[in-house]
Amino acid sequence: MKHKQDWFKELVIYQIYPRSFQDSNGDGVGDLKGVLQRLDYLAELGVNALWLSPVYASPNVDNGYDVSDYRQIMPEFGTMDDWDALLAEAHRRGMALIMDLVLNHTSDQHPWFQSARQSRDSPYSGFYIWRDPVNGGPPNGWRAVFGGSAWEYVPERGQYYLHSFAKEQPDLNWEDPQVRAAVHDIVRWWADKGVDGFRVDAISYLDKHLEALDPGDGRICTAACTNLPGTHRYIRELVQATCAPDHLMTVGEVTCLCLEDHWDYTARSRGEFDMAIPFVSPIEELQGWSPRQMRAQINAVYQKLRLEGWWARFLSNHDKPRQVSLYGDAERHWEASAKLLAALLHTLPGTPFIYQGEEIGMTNIALPEIGDYDDIDTQNLYRSLVAAGVEEKEALRRAQLASRDNARTPMQWDSSSNAGFSTGAPWLPINPNYTAINAAEQRGRQDSIFTFYQTLIRLRREHPVLIHGDYTPVLEEDDNLFAYLRRWEGTTWAVIHNFGPAPQRVPLDRQNLSGKAVLSNCGRSGELEGEIILEPYESLILELDS
């Protein structure tokens, strides 16, 4: 579908993890018909774009991020007719549909790999990355993201293949022009079906520099291959050949080690993505996160891209712990902190991405045994912690905090059995707090988190200052204050968040911030001036007196 240039700046994108959204046939697994049933809920929320995590045929070693046929729908999720109906019904409600593209690797069940693994003479041999053994072992010491060696031996060929993630996810060989042509065809095929854009998975490692294989190199494969020049060239070719002509939206899930990387992936003159989702491992984030650090990072990336780029804003997705558990206080200030995070998401410059369930403040879960976790990454983290000598109880505690399953427990629709997600046994446990935290309880309740999201989405639609306004940080002295101005054509809004559990003094007059309250998560209203005291986790939007 053809779009206007820059249309993506006006989107509010809702990410659906189909497995956990809505089950329509009682098998415990969410599906496309289920998404269809819930489109009116999404319209009520007010979002105007949906991003579907992968729905292609897949053996589900990594829940759909291991694709065995890019042109088929996973039978558990339904049929291509269901998908066509979903596209039509989303469009009818004014919602764009964004598909997830997994192009760094395929499933080992993909026919390309099934053929390639049989013999070196296969027509698909060159589609993957094969190397002869070195001293009877793997070509080097690279490790995979999900643990273990990044190389797997195939006796039929007497060779190893490279897999950056699980061994069931062999990396495609982008150096081969046939691979690039085949991938371009797939993307065009979906574009021709009418999708509006793509989220492009794990795309920073396409180019590998294999001529420099050093047997002593024991790095994680993705670290050894991040952001090489060939990767940028392949991305540019892909986007220009498939998405750019019709302005299909593109957002790349990328690794940004420095500000230059943000630029390289998203500056307009580079011809790569419209926006980037920088990947940060939950473990690192759990250790290093603070409001001050977050603010500094946001400011720096804003400055870097201000003239030529755009930002994907997100606080949660299917790879992260729940945002209110990670950045807020899910125990003592659940509602206020969930709303503060919502206000932050919608008032920063950039396109907001809402991950399913965050609009009702869904929280982390702590499953009692490591065996209860489905996520391949959680299992591997636990195993590697124990192997490194961490006591089992402590390893479980850390795995619980970082687990991607925190975000993948089924959507909490209502307080009936299985939270209204399924009439059968859900594929992953439902968070026991569903009787209190669910959509039915919050829809229509004036002070709910859901209503607060609705209000923010509407404000963004009605006030261009939130979309196009520039951004200037203010009140930077206090660690827990995160405050900024948005300015657009004579309108100035100030947004002030008290990012912490203690009340916070704010001298509005010191920086001429007097004005009228537009929105607060603590019921504050009217004209405000002088010194005010913000409540714990209060967010306040002011329209400043001109």
Q: Which residues bind Ca ion (CB under 5 A)?
A: 23, 25, 27, 29, 31
Partner from ligand GLC, Ca ion, none binding residue 163, C-beta < 5-8 Å depending on class: none
CA distance 20 to 355: 12
Smallest separation, CB 169 to ligand GLC (Å): 6
Partner from Ca ion, ligand GLC, none binding residue 153, C-beta < 5-8 Å depending on class: none
Rule CB under 6 A: say whether 82 interacts with ligand GLC: no
Catalytic residue among 201, 207, 374, 377: 201
C-beta closer to ligand GLC: residue 47 or 203: 203
Partner from Ca ion, ligand GLC, none binding residue 408, C-beta < 5-8 Å depending on class: none
Rule CB under 6 A: say whether 375 interacts with ligand GLC: no
CA distance 151 to 158: 13
CA distance 369 to 382: 11
C-beta closer to Ca ion: residue 19 or 199: 19
Task: Say which residues have a Cβ less than 8 Å from residue 525's Cβ, sequence separation at least 6.
Answer: 517
C-beta closer to Ca ion: residue 86 or 344: 86
C-beta closer to ligand GLC: residue 64 or 309: 64
Q: Give the Å distances, CA to CA, from 113 to 106, 168, 171, 207, 265.
A: 8, 10, 10, 19, 29
Smallest separation, CB 62 to ligand GLC (Å): 5
DSSP assignment, residue 410?
P
C-beta closer to ligand GLC: residue 168 or 264: 168
Smallest separation, CB 73 to Ca ion (Å): 12
Smallest separation, CB 273 to ligand GLC (Å): 15
Among 12, 102, 459, 483, binds ligand GLC (CB under 6 A): 102
Which residue in the shown chain puts its C-beta closest to ligand GLC? 65
Partner from ligand GLC, Ca ion, none binding residue 27, C-beta < 5-8 Å depending on class: Ca ion
In the annotation, is 441 catalytic?
no
Which residue in the shown chain puts its C-beta closest to Ca ion? 31
C-beta closer to ligand GLC: residue 65 or 311: 65
Residue 507: phi, psi to the nearest 5?
Answer: -80, 90
Of 31, 34, 32, 15, nearest to 413 (Cα)?
A: 34
CA distance 326 to 401: 9
Smallest separation, CB 405 to ligand GLC (Å): 12
Rule CB under 6 A: say whether 405 interacts with ligand GLC: no
Among 168, 201, 261, 274, binds ligand GLC (CB under 6 A): 201
Instruction: List beta partners, residue 483.
Output: 474, 496
Q: What is residue 161's three-state secondary structure?
A: strand
Residue type, 301: V
Of 81, 55, 83, 82, nearest to 69 (Cα)?
A: 55
CA atoms in the 13 A half-sphere facing the CB of 254: 28
Of 525, 536, 531, 541, nearest to 511 (Cα)?
A: 531
CA distance 541 to 466: 11
Structure tokens at 524: 């504050």
Smallest separation, CB 84 to Ca ion (Å): 18
CA distance 339 to 477: 23
CA distance 62 to 108: 12
Residue type, 504: Q
Structure tokens at 13: 């994108």
Partner from ligand GLC, Ca ion, none binding residue 97, C-beta < 5-8 Å depending on class: none
Smallest separation, CB 37 to Ca ion (Å): 11
Catalytic residue among 23, 31, 66, 253: 253
CA distance 71 to 86: 16
Residue type, 265: Y
Of residues 296 through 335, those in contact with ligand GLC by CB under 6 A are 318-319
Among 82, 108, 152, 253, binds ligand GLC (CB under 6 A): 253
Rule CB under 6 A: say whether 51 interacts with ligand GLC: no
Smallest separation, CB 351 to ligand GLC (Å): 18
Partner from ligand GLC, Ca ion, none binding residue 117, C-beta < 5-8 Å depending on class: none
Task: Say which residues have a Cβ less than 8 Å from residue 391's Cβ, sequence separation at least 6.
Answer: none
In the annotation, is 253 catalytic?
yes
Contact status, residue 431 vs residue 412, Cβ threshold 8 Å: yes
Mind telling me the catalytic residues? 201, 253
**Binding footprint of ligand GLC on the chain (CB under 6 A):** 62, 65, 102, 165, 201-202, 253, 279, 318-319
